[in-house]
Structure 1
């Protein structure tokens, strides 16, 4: 591939195939530079051309070896550890295609160093077509498995893949479904170690591992048998479940499992009587142990390692919410899981969470009288507010307009570059009216974008009551203010120092909020809106009861039943909310 700026105001790239020393053109790409891009340095324009080409013809990059020809040292520059700004973002994006895959196959190299100068070298060959990111994850899985089998308790992992280290470390969000499954498996394996740390290192410091990966991917049968070698026939992420459930023979479930499965009781009569009494609350379905619950019909029983994975995913996973200990335990039960020490384990987990301790709630305002506001039906009354200023993100986005339904507590939010009445009107139309119908009223503050004449006329024409809070009593829009605090607090806990990444992280925050039971209603906004709780990633990694026993026709029947019962669910939530507010007002 030849890349470069074709003129001062354009980029171009040409993909050619060499056949018997003849170059056959395959694809040509060109793009006009924007005003800001015209001021880029030449090397930045070259990298941008390569990024544009990789996005446009992604299947070629994934399925073939692509050699980039240029007069500039693009490879050396992208591997510099001190890259900043857009160059580091482009470097991470292009790292997907820079790994141990080649035309002869793909492989991975692992070096495990221990005390007393002990060193193990492992070369792995993949008998399947692997992308470079997939090869990096397979290598990490193989290394963790090797360390676990050797009984390692404290492990530090070094990788030259910036994308993988940041995804596993939690700094970057994992969006591709295949990589999400790999990430779940990594999370499970790391729970076996007392301490685990992953660190990014430059490619130059990883030369020996690269040599092992090339050795594995290019070797012929019978060659290089002086080091440990392994072949992986199929991708590890193709397994249907992350965990092999062989833990019933040990731990707190052992006696219950033996009695229900095989009728075996402990020799001690007192212990045997205890097991009999306890087993009345348990049952076995689909070869899994479940506890009969009070709020949920069946709760899947977990051992220590499985419980650690579930807490990780619920607290800081893709759909995770950095909530308190009791709220976290409620989510565990609501998702269909059980183990005897749930409450104390969740409390200990939250206390050890650095983000929760660093950005926890600090109540500094004095107590005031409660201003109770009730909505007649779902999506009848909305509160709206602007959250600003936030760190400037891509596209100059630095404001967040937030709307919350007073009944279901459902939140809609959209990042904005500017606060104008036109943007507010567009948000109201697109995010509220077109999705949930015409509300009875919208409560907003007296900001100039909300009291604009055109916006007021827009609401009046649609028959929406426009309620404006006074400067003396801004707490009348407290629901929207509370939603702002929830979003801001969760973004701080998720992003840490990477504050400019709040825009891509926003959908995950909203998803986690919508699936968290609210204190006032004791229900999730998702269930009050759709009648059923959503399927979340933890139920895939550790299959829940509804996933283990899924039947399409039966599922459709149950969804219809839930829709018939949704009015009762909403009425119970309304009563619960009123009782909660009356109790708080005393």
Structure 2
């Protein structure tokens, strides 16, 4: 604090050491740098107050003149003039490098086997530096011999891509796989077509690819790996990694299960609403027409109309039994009587004829109610008085 004319004034002193290119700044550049440094250090004051800069130099005119913006362009022009032409070409070569084509070829041997005990796949990868990698895969799903061969081939392609291989030469002992990849054989069957499509997708990621069909005798190592569960070899010790595939490599189609139930009491009413079809008999047709007045169709679902309540969804006998068991014995089962169970079903928004009779029939079979219910002293049947005969009447 400094006392100036009886007023305490706060004064802040700060400094900055010039390093590197800053030491070669001109006087004006150093003054501007000092102003920027002060504004950064005292940004709270600069943002909250109007600051007056006292200086003997025309900093305001320099910062406000438009030709100052052209200094950057002049600096770039000076830089281009000072840099030789060969350096510029060197920089362009660094920015736009020429793609390098990797000519090293990886070798892949695959084999798949399937029998009654299971299926397996064996891989043998040889790098351009003659480093050998062995890999065994157990297929934990049912597959044919051709599918096992494809699984081994696809696993080998994935392994080569992870190893960064660009050029691949695959050796397989399955003539079907080799000829289908080369396009000489057609893929018959949905599974074979999916396997072939998956293989071509992986092959397109290599720069060069070649597949060769070899005899089984030339593929002993991969054949041994595919049968590793039953046979062991010394040269495979501590080098084999066994992986279990739970699902096939190709996407399987989802099968929607369609459950066809027997016609129920709601079938004639639905047919009448949707197609206007009535039973052949006049009596039955008239009954359906009268019943339809109490029902309504919405989004393909039949509902029962009620006078003072919402619409009740109509269910068949199978769903009705499920509703009774769920309310009686479910997670929040109440194990109550038929009247309470029917009331719960109605409040949930469901309806079917003879609800009370069906509830009584199902609740009578509840083992928990029979075991843990309170004993009833009331006789099952009404008592019938029996007059004893008078001896010697």
> Is TM-score (shorter-chain normalized) higher than 0.5?
no
**Given the two structures, how large is their TM-score scaled by the length of structure 1?**
0.23
Structure of larger gyration radius? 2
